[in-house]
Amino acid sequence: MLETKPMRSGLSEEEIYLFNNGSSYHSYRFMGAHLAQEGGVTGVRFAVWAPNAMEARVIGSFNRWDGEAHRMKRIGTTGVYELFVPGLGEGSLYKYELITPDGAAVRKADPFAFLSERRPGTASVVTDLSGYDWGDADWLRTKSKTSPYQHPLHIYEVHPASWKIKGKELFYTYDELADELVPYAAEMGFTHIELMPLAEHPLDQSWGYQVTGFYSPTSRHGDPKGLMRFIDRCHRHGIGVILDWVPGHFCKDDHGLRLFDGTPLYEGNDPNRAELPLWGTLAFDFSRREVVSFLISNAIYWLDVFHIDGLRVDAVANMLNLHMDKPPHMHTYNEFGGRDNLDALRFLKKLNETVFRYYPDTLMLAEDSSAWPAVTSPTYQGGLGFNFKWNMGWMNDSLRYMALHPDDRRHHHQLITFSLCYAFSENYVLPLSHDEVVHGKRSLLNKMPGSYEEKFDQLRLFYGYWMTHPGKKLLFMGGEWGQFDEWKDSDMLDWMVLDYDSHRMMRDYVKALNHVYLDLPSLWERDRDPECFQWIDVHNAAQSVISFIRRGQSSFSVIILNFSRNDYRDYRIGVPEPGEYRIVLHSGDIRFGGKETRASASYKSDNMKWHGLGQSISIHLPPYAFLLLALQGDTH
């Protein structure tokens, strides 16, 4: 963990060697600005990597932004400059003034800054991260003994700047989010909160995915210790925290990493590789060893200093594919003539190996839309080394299916069943993320066809399918009550719709569904094991009905889903054991906005073979119904 005493002045040869060699995984401990002592005098020691700069100076509020008196010393041929400035303390604004090879002066924010001036300001801020008194020892101890594979994982994805706000650009502080968001997520039955990127970024509309301050928690919500308090509060409520992390690219703002010392440094020399035209950003040069040190140290920094429980690594497919989202004239090839970015491949493997070496209980989730094999297999088995991957195929197929007119679904039955052909090839998370409710895609509720009432019926049905399908879960904020409008990143969620019964009851349903998920080991205990899933009937395209069994170590659940608008009064399905089957949850329960008053009914099995099983039950299956049943007496 971070030291609590002032750091000594001067960088060691070993530290710089490891940084230059791509093997420094704690670079934040000596690069950037640190409180230090030299000759008994307290001040700040600065260190910056700018190998092609002719000269480097520290400028700031303490010298009226004139660095003439604060020229930095170049350390041999390492490309690192350092300077100790006596008398400085926390809160000092600063930048580096670098003289480029052509004699121009550029002013850059510190790539290792722990805090940045609130936008539109662009200066870095001297900050001491030591001294926070963490109270999450019990959480860390429990986490170290708990496998994420055999336990529930249900993630609430949150954009902190729009979950709630107090007015235009009046964002909730980290402490206010701790007071409201944390108990809300715990009450709703989520196991983790995933925060969209918190690294400092100049443009609100980038949602944090175009970064200038990779080590700097955004000052929109307060200071770094406020973020520590938020995470600590999460852990004390039994909630893990995942951070969206963006190692693939960075934005072009002048104070950022672009042409940092007057030359392509972080982005590499070939503009066809560096430029990402779809996003207007620059890709990191993963062949540069100092860049590897910078990025892997950044991942370790969030885990070490802030006790983050996991990183959702953004845009893995774009990192791996040299051609993705680029016109043909920008295509480049690796040394073997292929389109795979071999440097990015090596980086991702090294990243995961390093993270798990230091923090073996971390969640490393790949946001990957490609068909790259073995993403969640260990690197020693030829995999990329992540432990979870977003299942983008399931998401695309299932949402496309749900958007169909109910009468057309029977012609596209494979969209709702095909995912089981590959559901056990990786450790999957089933994401219903922010990407699916913006840019004209409509909200989840508004993707559903039919009348206003039918939209709610079908969204409850879809959530039942999502929750009982093999794989861990992720839901974007607002989805829990059926946000009707698309996500508006500049305004807060439409909390006022909870004044309406339909939305309030939808939230009640999602809360009940979440807690059923947490309580039923059959829904998460064996997610990667093909034996955890058994089709009862996969072929009933004519009626748009599917049914299956989910099995845990010692229990099972029976799931029936009717994706049609037809009412089936005596629908018979096979069941694996004799006995009485109780309805654990019914999406059509009147409590949740449906019409069923007998949503807690039970069904005694008949000694009649059906669907290849020795027993069967006859049930009432209303339109757009999801039913989850368990054998009576099963305490699980």
pLDDT digits (tens, 9 = 90+) for 352-376: 999 999 999 999 999 999 999 999 9
Nearest 5°: phi and psi at 111? Answer: -60, -25
Nearest 5°: phi and psi at 585? Answer: -155, 140
The predicted structure's pLDDT at residue 21: 97
In a domain, 24, yes or no: yes
The last residue of one of the domains, among 103, 125, 147, is 125
In a domain, 263, yes or no: no
Rounded CA gap, 265 and 284, in Å?
Answer: 9
Q: pTM to 2 decimals?
A: 0.96
The last residue of one of the domains, among 84, 110, 125, is 125
CA distances from 366 to 323, 351, 401, 419 (A): 19, 12, 25, 18
Q: What burial class does residue 418 get, using C-beta atoms within 10 Å of its C-beta: 0-12 exposed, 13-18 middle, 19+ buried?
A: middle
Torsion of CA 281, 255, 218, 346, to 10 degrees: 50
In a domain, 112, yes or no: yes
- Going by the DSSP 8-state scheme, the letter that residue 618 receives in this structure is E
Torsion of CA 326, 330, 331, 333, to 10 degrees: -130
Return the CATH number at 582.
2.60.40.1180
Q: What are 464-500's pLDDT values in tens digits? A: 999 999 999 999 999 999 999 999 999 999 999 999 9
In a domain, 412, yes or no: no
Rounded CA gap, 556 and 569, in Å?
Answer: 25
The last residue of one of the domains, among 91, 125, 159, is 125
Task: State yes or no: pLDDT of 636 exceeds 80.
Answer: no
Q: How confident is the model at residue 6 (pLDDT cuts 50, 70, 90)?
A: very low
Q: What are 193-210's pLDDT values in tens digits? A: 999 999 999 999 999 999
Q: How confident is the model at residue 597 (pLDDT cuts 50, 70, 90)?
A: confident
* Residue 42, strand partner residues: 37
Q: What are 218-245's pLDDT values in tens digits? A: 999 999 999 999 999 999 999 999 999 9
Q: How confident is the model at residue 632 (pLDDT cuts 50, 70, 90)?
A: confident
CA distances from 215 to 198, 309, 591, 619 (A): 9, 17, 47, 57
3-state SS of 50-102 is CCCCCEEEEEEHHHCCCHHHCECEECCCCCEEEEEEECCCCCCEEEEEEECCC
Return the CATH number at 99.
2.60.40.10
In a domain, 619, yes or no: yes
Choice among 314, 368, 457, 596 that is catalytic: 314
In a domain, 244, yes or no: no
In a domain, 31, yes or no: yes
Choice among 15, 267, 309, 367 that is catalytic: 367
CA distances from 347 to 275, 308, 342, 354, 603 (A): 19, 21, 8, 10, 55
The predicted structure's pLDDT at residue 371: 92
Token pair 């009046």 is at which residue? 170
**Tokens matching residue 353:** 């190996």
The predicted structure's pLDDT at residue 634: 63
**Residue of 210, 216, 222 lying closest to 248 (CA atoms):** 210
Token pair 């990143």 is at which residue? 489
Q: Which helix or strand (DSSP H or E) is residue 243 part of?
A: strand 240-245
Token pair 């349903």 is at which residue? 509
Q: What burial class does residue 529 get, using C-beta atoms within 10 Å of its C-beta: 0-12 exposed, 13-18 middle, 19+ buried?
A: middle
Q: Which helix or strand (DSSP H or E) is residue 142 part of?
A: helix 137-144
Structural domain that includes position 594: 530-631
In a domain, 62, yes or no: yes
**In the chain, how many domains are there?**
2
Active site residue 314: yes
Rounded CA gap, 481 and 80, in Å?
Answer: 52
**3-state DSSP assignment of residue 430:** strand
